[in-house]
Amino acid sequence: MWIQKKINISLKSRGFHIITDEILTNTPELKDFKIGIFQLFIKHTSASLTINENVDQTVRTDFESHFNMLAPENQNYYEHTFEGPDDMPAHLKASLLGSSLSIPITDGKLNLGTWQGIYICEHRNHGSERKLIVTIQGSLF
Amino acid sequence: MWIQKKINISLKSRGFHIITDEILTNTPELKDFKIGIFQLFIKHTSASLTINENVDQTVRTDFESHFNMLAPENQNYYEHTFEGPDDMPAHLKASLLGSSLSIPITDGKLNLGTWQGIYICEHRNHGSERKLIVTIQGSLF
Amino acid sequence: MWIQKKINISLKSRGFHIITDEILTNTPELKDFKIGIFQLFIKHTSASLTINENVDQTVRTDFESHFNMLAPENQNYYEHTFEGPDDMPAHLKASLLGSSLSIPITDGKLNLGTWQGIYICEHRNHGSERKLIVTIQGSLF
């Protein structure tokens, strides 16, 4: 059994944001799957997806601070600079974090750990609505 | 055809550890799949999974050394510090490496390269047993 | 419905290279899938796969420059050095970027964003032909 749909995530400020509830609200079909895989894919090269701590906002703030150290702006060796100083770091961050997530489905729910949430990572200063594709596959009840 | 099970990985010391054999011992059903995908998911935000060199222990030691450089403790901009100096670096390392692996199944076996092994990456000084979900899907012989 | 095949990618110079067309030429079966997942796996520990910007060559050059900063050669703490100074950095880069990609299939095509391309990342000075496994699964038209 396969289900696929687009989800548009409204514009987020630069940084890391939890979207677990937004994703679940858009995928009520999940409850019909006994075992499966829930795949999220982001159709962009300057925003990304990851899974991390879902309670303390300072974790997300620290992610933004630290990824700005791992992929700083204005490195003297950057050649891809015509879209602004935040562009090349955004591409690097996107590949460090990745463009997709695969999460097991168990008994109609995402089988996440207690402290795991889905993050969208907006790496541009002025991003845009971000397009995700959700693909759900598995065996039904 | 879908199979899903929990595997608890016993407490490991901080660092990188090969668990390929431990995973395979727990999934004898793998031999029944002709073509498929073997998905591993870790239900934690301060431990992670990756695939890398499976022979030389110094590769894993160097991973620990280098990831301690990539996500150092006690950065002055960290705000999420109440669980100790190893906590925020653990979250960062977990997202840099990722929480899941998808490995092709071919003729009843994981189709890994000769030098590829499955690593569990324990990022806390005093972690705990780590819970994995294995989801196997594919076509049978 | 499942299809799986090997694709050998000819030797590439150290750096980041787009292989989207090479992959698609080798997988004409993709057009038969209405909804699905296209999985690419690289059977090596010193080369990797990622998705990023598909037009400007300087993005790929900047990736090479920046990953050489993130995982430099000749760190004094490296112990795994007998295969040369480019070996341990190659292993680190491979795990930072990852060994597999999962891309949604929609109406017989990869559902990539406009600017997304598939990169093979060759981290060795003198690599070799690289072996990929493509696993396509989904529902047919």
The string of pLDDT tens digits covering residues C70-117 is 999 999 999 999 999 999 999 999 999 999 999 999 999 999 999 999
Q: Chains with ≥3 Cβ pairs under 8 A against B?
A: A, C
Stretch A96-123: mean pLDDT, rounded? 98
The HSE-up count of residue A59 (CA atoms within 13 Å, CB side) is 27
Q: Chains with ≥3 Cβ pairs under 8 A against C?
A: A, B
Give yes or no for B97 touching C (CB within 8 A): yes
Question: Is this complex scored with an ipTM above 0.90?
Answer: yes
Q: Which residues contact C76 (CB under 8 A, 6 or more apart)?
A: none
- Judge contact between B54 and B18, C-beta under 8 A: yes
Q: What is the pLDDT of residues C16-65, one digit of tens each?
A: 999 999 999 999 999 999 999 999 999 999 999 999 999 999 999 999 99
Residue from C134, C105, C121 nearest C52 by CA: C121
C8: tokens are 């050998």
- Does the distance separating the beta carbons of B100 and A103 come in below 8 Å? yes
Stretch B84-104: mean pLDDT, rounded? 98
Select the residue from C80, C129, C139 to test the B interface by mutation, using most B Cβ atoms within 10 A: C80
To the nearest whole Å, the CA of A87 is away from the closest chain C CA by 10
Distance CA B113, CA C76 (A): 29
Distance CA C88, CA B58 (A): 10
B64: tokens are 């620990």
State whether residue B47 is helix, strand or coil.
Answer: strand
Between the two ends of chain B, the Cα-to-Cα distance in Å is 11
To the nearest whole Å, the CA of C56 is away from the closest chain B CA by 25
Average pLDDT of chain B is 98
Distance CA B130, CA B120 (A): 9
- Does the distance separating the beta carbons of C80 and B104 come in below 8 Å? no
- Does the distance separating the beta carbons of C52 and A91 come in below 8 Å? yes
pLDDT grade, residue B85 (50/70/90)?
very high
State whether residue C100 is helix, strand or coil.
Answer: strand
Query: Which pLDDT does position B114 carry in this prediction?
Result: 98
Query: Which pLDDT does position A111 carry in this prediction?
Result: 98
C59: tokens are 């993005």
Strand-pairing partners, residue C39, are C102, C135
Strand-pairing partners, residue B136, are B3, B38
Average pLDDT of chain A is 98
To the nearest whole Å, the CA of B115 is away from the closest chain A CA by 23
- Does the distance separating the beta carbons of B97 and C41 come in below 8 Å? no
* Burial (0-12, 13-18, 19+ Cβ within 10 Å), C124: middle
- Does the distance separating the beta carbons of A41 and C102 come in below 8 Å? yes
- Judge contact between B50 and B18, C-beta under 8 A: no
User: Which chain C positions have a beta carbon within 8 Å of A131's beta carbon?
Assistant: 113
Q: What is the pLDDT of residues B5-58, one digit of tens each?
A: 999 999 999 999 999 999 999 999 999 999 999 999 999 999 999 999 999 999
Give yes or no for C55 touching A (CB within 8 A): no
Stretch B58-68: mean pLDDT, rounded? 98
Query: Which pLDDT does position A116 carry in this prediction?
Result: 98
Give yes or no for C36 touching A (CB within 8 A): yes
pLDDT grade, residue A137 (50/70/90)?
very high
B6: tokens are 């929990």
Query: Phi-psi category of B138—alpha, beta or left, where left has phi over 0 and alpha has psi -120 to 50?
Result: left
Query: Which pLDDT does position B23 carry in this prediction?
Result: 98
